[in-house]
Structure 1
């Protein structure tokens, strides 16, 4: 596993780096392809809060967690616990749903692009573009992925129709689906 630890608005001390690395190795057991995984960690300070954001884009799913606390070490502990809960929840659902299904094999065998951001300089245009390789999955798995990323929507390729679809969280807490034509 490769760790990329950076500070945003702060300098990452050696003790913070060591503490982060030590704690992050706990999630290694959940990753099937741990040798290939790249873990992006951002330690940041905003006002009176200190935060940690961890993203693992090339795991079988995109893992992302963010925590804020007055103490950086407590924030690191909280974000690791959050990642562990996400992985346990994901593994439980996948094992239950795909016990005899080949879709999990297809999902893990395809190379998943972690997304490449392109920033533009014109303030009146789109400021960020991302490109992702879409993995085939069903609606339930897309909703699970969206919730694990804590996003409002998720774009995916439907495994039955091979069309690009979008699931999204509605204001009432339920979910919507936009299907490609």
Structure 2
């Protein structure tokens, strides 16, 4: 597995890089067809936050797309937390792939949609310094980013699984039961909801 390690405005020491290569590289024991891992380190600038070191790990290969984002008190702890989270997600994936045998859906030939960032609709420098913030009653969120997805045909149960593997709280897909775009989302009680188009 090829491993890419990047620091976003933060240094990544050699010992941390070595730990990432060793620990992230060992994750292919769960799903042997992983091709690459993208590891990005960031640092939270707010000094009041104890867990300031953030790491995002994305694993890709043969249609699999698994992501974990965690924060720790230092980079080593963040890596360990990410590996633990990814291990749980990959165990779920391995179990799911082992049960999945529906040739009519040709799922083994379908790749997971990778979000393609088209463009930033609003550049950070264009936001006025005196504009109302989220706590202001006049606050209206702007659309500042747009993403494009290739929708996959699947059943809602698999869509929930994909949502978990991506560590998102929603997932857009084409429902195999209705052949229409649908959304599964994470509810506040920990279960999932399904939004379907009527008509």
Same fold (TM over 0.5): yes
**1:140 matches 2:157:** yes
Gaps spanning 5+ residues in structure 1: where? none
Structure showing the higher helix proportion among its residues: 1
Is 1:24 matched up with 2:24?
yes
Q: How much does 1:22 deviate? A: 1.3
Aligned counterparts, 1:100-179, within 5 A: 100-102=101-103, 106-122=106-122, 123=127, 126-179=143-196
Which ranges in structure 2 are unaligned for 5 or more consecutive residues? 128-140
Aligned to 2:4: 4
Q: Could you say what the CA RMSD is over the residues aligned between the two structures, in angstroms?
A: 2.4
Q: Distance in 2 between matches of 1:119 and 1:151?
A: 21
4+ residue runs over 6 A deviation: none
Q: Which TM-score applies when normalising by structure 2?
A: 0.76
CA distance in 2, matches of 1:85, 1:174: 18
Per the normalisation by structure 1, the TM-score is: 0.82
Structure 1 Cα separation of the partners of residues 92 and 187 of structure 2: 22
Rg (Cα) greater in structure: 2
Q: CA deviation at 1:116?
A: 0.9
Provide the residue aligned with 1:69 in structure 2: 72
Q: Return the match for 1:52 from 41, 52, 55.
A: 55
